[in-house]
Amino acid sequence: MSTFWIVLLSVVAGTVLSAGIACLPGLHIYNVMGALVLGILWLDALPEPCFWSFLTRPEVYVPAMTGMVVAWSMLNTIPSVLLGTPDESALFTVLPGQKYLMNGRGYEGTMITAVGSLAGAFFVVCVLAPFAPKYLPVSQEVLKGHMHWVLWIIITFILMSEWPKGGNRGRAGWAKFFDAWKGLLVGIATFVLSGVMGFILLNRSPVGHEVAFQNIMPAFVGLFAVPWCLQNIISAADVPPQRTTDSLDIDGDIILRSVWSGGLGGGFAAYMPIVTGGVGGLLAGHACAQRDERIFIMGQGVSKFVYYVGAFMLLFVPGLNLTRGGGAWMVKTLYTPSSTADYLMIVGSIAVSGAVSFLMVSPLARLTLKLIDRFDYRHVSSFALAVIVAMVFAITGWIGLFIAAVATGIGLLPVLFGSRRLNCLGILLLPIACNMSGFGDAIVGWMGLN
Amino acid sequence: MKGFSHFMSGVAVASFCPWSIEAALNGNPVFFVLGGACGILPDTLDFKFYRFFYRHDVYVEPDPIALDPQAIADEVARAVNMGVDERRYIRLKLSSIRLGADYWQQYTVDFDNENMEVVVRFGPVTNTGQVPVPGTAEKNTKVGRAKIKAKVIQTYDSSLKVDIFDGPTAGLAPREDGNFDLEFLPWHREWSHALTIGFFLGLLWLLGCTLFGNWLMGVQGLILMTGCYGIHVIEDQLGHMGSNLFYPFTKHRVPGLHWMHSGDGLPNFLAVWISCIFIFWNLHRSMEAPQYHFGLLQLFWVALIAPGLIFWGLRWLLTRKQGTDQLEADDAADEWNDMKSGN
């Protein structure tokens, strides 16, 4: 079989496999890719080739992994919007997504986000890919010594830009001030507690070394996905009957403006270390000041796609030598890209997988909506929570469940006090910013984690 | 402008200070952090601190159990009439009506100057995302009306709308003709948006650094804080509301240049993006032996002008046969809503 067909079939296989995984709440594609990498390393180490040894060929697993990342970043919209179980990068799609759901328009909300992802695919293939080899090495040279303070100013903005939500009634004075600041102080506490947890997990992770790929996964699940599920189970109103539609209330202008804001946010998050899609989306939302909710939700679709896929693609950009995102790090353990041909193969794979993934969004969203229509939303959320817990246990065992439980405690703080959930990202931002500025070791020493 | 635009402008100003870059290259981010923080600080002072200590003459606090627009109208009219009787500035606070964990009763206050009345109408119940709950708009159609003794002239078009979280403050400023000007959020930009405040905060920083034996860092911080705080004030002056520029030497806001509204997408984006370009340029300038060489104009062409032209060309192609909706609002209302809906 020619390399073309091998690559094409691998992309499609990776895409279809990922499509199923993406619809399961709480399961991140990086968890599956981590398992895949371990499997390939095991196959490679076998003394005699077996039937599955073809999987160890780069022209099989690299396009397949590309397809997995692309499909997941597009199709994971379905559980984020319809089941309210986002990963961190989809954090901002949940509230507007649930508005659509509560108005019986969950399908429309999902499809608008998916159109954003498709637009993100066009942005990656037609804008990022042609210009990245020429301009990114320049920016890399200028910014390479400055990433640490960029992280610090992001932290500063996240903490300073949260506004008080209390103190709404009563006479002026300290009582009103403290009532208002309750939520803000909880937000800061959430950030610091997440940061402390990050220091522990990054320096003394109790998760076994054989699943070291996943040492932060239980914490992320606990911080972001589990609190949504619990909130849905405890407080969710009954979801009204859902209707599907053949057309969406969007036009070219909305798509263009979504690409503008989402591409900016996702691109920034893809390029900067540790900055996630959620942070990129937040910054881009503030920068572009869009008032239209459709642009916001579609922009989040663009941002998430560009963040995941763009970061993965950076590994292959000729002359850049930049590894960003879990997917790229995992591929790098198996294969080092060496030529423009690799880059073109990846860009082509993104295009093919983006198209196939988009075609699968509608049927899978309809299927999920049937599930929601048939069962009580609380039961669906309970099922989602069970899947998440099972996943954490299967990959990281009891210790992973313990980490997830502690993280859930932290992740529930913003839910209970109405503060910003993004503060949970202190888990990565704080330890990494400290490390990059050169005083992470001192803090680790103070914490007794040496 | 929006908080992020101010924040990035502050960081850009900090990047013009050579000591910021030098410190950053040695692992010390303090000047850039200070720049961003000072860039957003004037709004922080107002929205996170001052407004909770701002005393009002009349507090309108509707009962969520017995929703009655007439009671609200009566209280607002009392505030106006108090201003007429006592010939002074009146501060009126309209509180929100929380119906549940995620639900708020929206209401609007309008001044009907022809009939000399204040008119209060209940809108829909909204959730915390300010999205109306279907079917609630028609449930409470009662209208509250109360007579006022003087006209209240609104400086912008929209009604006073109250929905989620904190309700707005309205200042009733007496005019020479006996009527009142309605000032939205009178506590905003009353003193915080002054060039002198930035300098004063810089002096505090200098004092602190000197006490710790590092006066040079203090002087550097003074210059940087004055500039970064000042850029916020200057940017806001491009809008409508204006600022009290030299508090305590001046007492009133100087009207803005009316070039933009603070919530407009394009000016905000340009502020952020041009700041990023200047930061990039300053970092490039500070490199001792860069591998790539380019000028500022070239950078602007590649990073702003060329993509901007392509974007607007595409937008023209996509919208040439249709109108595009442009939502307009007032500066203060923009900032107020931005604050309330901030994620």
CA distance B155 to B258: 13
Distance from CA of B152 to the nearest CA of A (A): 25
Please indicate whether residue A63 or residue B161 has the higher confidence score (pLDDT).
Answer: A63
CA distance B6 to A66: 38
Question: What is the token pair recorded at A428?
Answer: 């990565």
Q: How many CB atoms sit inside 10 A of residue A4's CB?
A: 11
B290 touches A at CB < 8 Å: yes
Residues 6+ apart with CB under 8 A from A246: none
Q: Is residue A75 within 8 Å of A220, Cβ to Cβ? A: no
CA distance B136 to B158: 22
> Does the pLDDT of residue B333 top 70, yes or no?
no
- Confidence class for position A91, pLDDT limits 50, 70, 90: low
Closest residue to A172, CB basis, from B2, B33, B55 = B55
Closest residue to B24, CB basis, from A103, A146, A256 = A146
Closest residue to A287, CB basis, from B263, B269, B315 = B269
Pairing of strands B58-60, B90-94: parallel
CA distance B132 to A435: 46
Taking CA–CA distances from B293, the nearest residue in chain A reads: A138
Of A433, A437, A428, A386, the residue nearest A27 (C-alpha): A386
Of A442, A448, A427, A439, the residue nearest A202 (C-alpha): A427
Dihedral over Cα of B123, B126, B132, B136: its sign: negative
Mean predicted lDDT score pLDDT of chain A: 88
A96 touches B at CB < 8 Å: yes
- Looking at residue B338, what is its pLDDT? 66
In chain A, the percentage of residues whose pLDDT exceeds 90 is: 51
B4 touches A at CB < 8 Å: yes
Element (H, E) at A70: helix A58-75
Residue recorded with tokens 């109306």: B132
CA end-to-end distance (rounded Å), chain B:
17
> Does the pLDDT of residue A290 top 90, yes or no?
no
Residues of A in contact with B325 (CB under 8 A): 292
Q: Kindly determine whether residue B343 and residue A252, on different chains, have CB atoms separated by under 8 Å.
A: no
Distance from CA of A240 to the nearest CA of B (A): 12
Q: What is the DSSP string of A180-202?
A: HHHHHHHHHHHHHHHHHHHHHHH
Task: Walk across the sheet containing B90-94 and list its strands.
Answer: B58-60, B90-94, B169-174, B180-184, B152-154
* Highest mean predicted confidence (pLDDT) among A161-175, B118-132, B265-279: B265-279
Q: Is residue A147 within 8 Å of A273, Cβ to Cβ? A: yes
Provide mean pLDDT across the span A378-405.
88
A252 touches B at CB < 8 Å: yes
CA distance A426 to A150: 15
pLDDT digits (tens, 9 = 90+) for A407-446: 999 999 998 888 888 899 999 999 999 999 998 999 999 9
Residues of B in contact with A141 (CB under 8 A): 287, 290-292
Q: Kindly determine whether residue A168 and residue B340, on different chains, have CB atoms separated by under 8 Å.
A: no
With the CA atoms of A171, A172, A175 and A180 taken in that order, what torsion angle do they form, in degrees rounded to the nearest 10?
110
- Confidence class for position B343, pLDDT limits 50, 70, 90: very low
Cα–Cα separations (whole angstroms), residue A208 to A99, A213, A215? 41, 10, 8
pLDDT digits (tens, 9 = 90+) for B141-184: 889 999 999 999 986 656 788 988 888 899 999 999 999 999 88
Residues 6+ apart with CB under 8 A from A192: A426, A430
Dihedral over Cα of A105, A107, A112, A113: its sign: positive
Length in residues, chain A: 450
Domain-wise residue ranges, chain B: 3-50+193-341, 58-184
Provide mean pLDDT across the span B61-72.
92
pLDDT digits (tens, 9 = 90+) for B42-51: 999 999 999 9
Q: Which residues pair with B201 in a beta bridge?
A: none
Please indicate whether residue A214 or residue B66 has the higher confidence score (pLDDT).
Answer: B66
Distance from CA of A46 to the nearest CA of B (A): 46
Give the B window 140-199 contacts with A, CB below 8 Å. Answer: 165-167
B289 touches A at CB < 8 Å: no
Residue recorded with tokens 């896929």: A309
- Confidence class for position A95, pLDDT limits 50, 70, 90: low
Provide mean pLDDT across the span B95-111.
88
Residues of B in contact with A240 (CB under 8 A): none
Taking CA–CA distances from A183, the nearest residue in chain B reads: B48
CA distance A210 to A221: 19
Please indicate whether residue A391 or residue A311 has the higher confidence score (pLDDT).
Answer: A311
Give the A window 351-380 contacts with B, CB below 8 Å. Answer: none
Provide mean pLDDT across the span B70-75.
95
pLDDT digits (tens, 9 = 90+) for A346-390: 999 999 999 999 999 999 999 998 888 888 778 888 888 898 899
Strands, DSSP E only, in chain B?
A: 58-60, 90-94, 97-98, 103-112, 117-127, 143-147, 152-154, 160-162, 169-174, 180-184
Distance from CA of B343 to the nearest CA of A (A): 6
Helix axes B195-211, B215-236, angle to 10 degrees: 160
User: Can you tell me the ipTM of this complex?
Assistant: 0.89
Provide mean pLDDT across the span B333-340.
67
- DSSP-derived 3-state class of residue B58: strand
> Does the pLDDT of residue A195 top 90, yes or no?
yes
With the CA atoms of A240, A241, A244 and A250 taken in that order, what torsion angle do they form, in degrees rounded to the nearest 10?
-20
CA distance A185 to A182: 5
CA B308 to the chain's CA centroid: 27
Residue recorded with tokens 């069970």: A386
Q: Kindly determine whether residue A157 and residue B47, on different chains, have CB atoms separated by under 8 Å.
A: no
> Does the pLDDT of residue A141 top 70, yes or no?
yes
pLDDT digits (tens, 9 = 90+) for A314-344: 999 998 889 998 899 999 999 999 889 999 9
CA angle A294, A295, A300 (to 5 degrees): 100
Provide mean pLDDT across the span A159-163.
91
Distance from CA of B292 to the nearest CA of A (A): 7
Domain-wise residue ranges, chain A: 3-446
Among A9-13, A220-224, A274-278, B296-300, the minimum mean pLDDT is found in A274-278
Please indicate whether residue A95 or residue A406 has the higher confidence score (pLDDT).
Answer: A406
- Confidence class for position B299, pLDDT limits 50, 70, 90: very high
> Does the pLDDT of residue A67 top 50, yes or no?
yes
Mutate one of B34, B49, B52 to test the A interface: name it (highest A CB count within 10 A). B52
- Confidence class for position A82, pLDDT limits 50, 70, 90: confident
B95 touches A at CB < 8 Å: yes
Q: How many CB pairs under 8 A join A and B?
A: 157
Strands, DSSP E only, in A233-297?
A: none
Of A256, A247, A274, A262, the residue nearest A112 (C-alpha): A247
Closest residue to A157, CB basis, from B4, B263, B268 = B4
Distance from CA of B26 to the nearest CA of A (A): 8
Mutate one of B1, B2, B4 to test the A interface: name it (highest A CB count within 10 A). B4
Q: Is residue A420 within 8 Å of A414, Cβ to Cβ? A: yes
CA distance A219 to A230: 16
Q: Where are the alpha helices (DSSP H) in A145-251?
A: 147-160, 174-203, 217-220, 226-235
pLDDT digits (tens, 9 = 90+) for B214-262: 999 999 999 999 999 999 999 999 988 888 899 999 988 888 888 887 7
- DSSP-derived 3-state class of residue B122: strand
Closest residue to B95, CB basis, from A95, A145, A169 = A169
Question: What is the token pair recorded at A322?
Answer: 């930049």
pLDDT digits (tens, 9 = 90+) for B115-136: 999 999 999 998 776 777 778 8
> Does the pLDDT of residue A53 top 50, yes or no?
yes
Taking CA–CA distances from B93, the nearest residue in chain A reads: A169
> Does the pLDDT of residue A120 top 60, yes or no?
yes
CA distance A109 to A102: 11
Residues of A in contact with B302 (CB under 8 A): 135
- Looking at residue B342, what is its pLDDT? 54
> Does the pLDDT of residue A196 top 90, yes or no?
yes
Distance from CA of B177 to the nearest CA of A (A): 31
B53 touches A at CB < 8 Å: yes
Residues of B in contact with A286 (CB under 8 A): 2-5
- Looking at residue A237, what is its pLDDT? 62
Pairing of strands B143-147, B180-184: unpaired
Instruction: Give the long-range contacts of residues A200-205, CB within 8 A, separation 24 or more.
Output: A200/A447, A200/A449, A201/A403, A201/A427, A202/A431, A202/A432, A203/A431, A203/A444, A203/A449, A204/A449
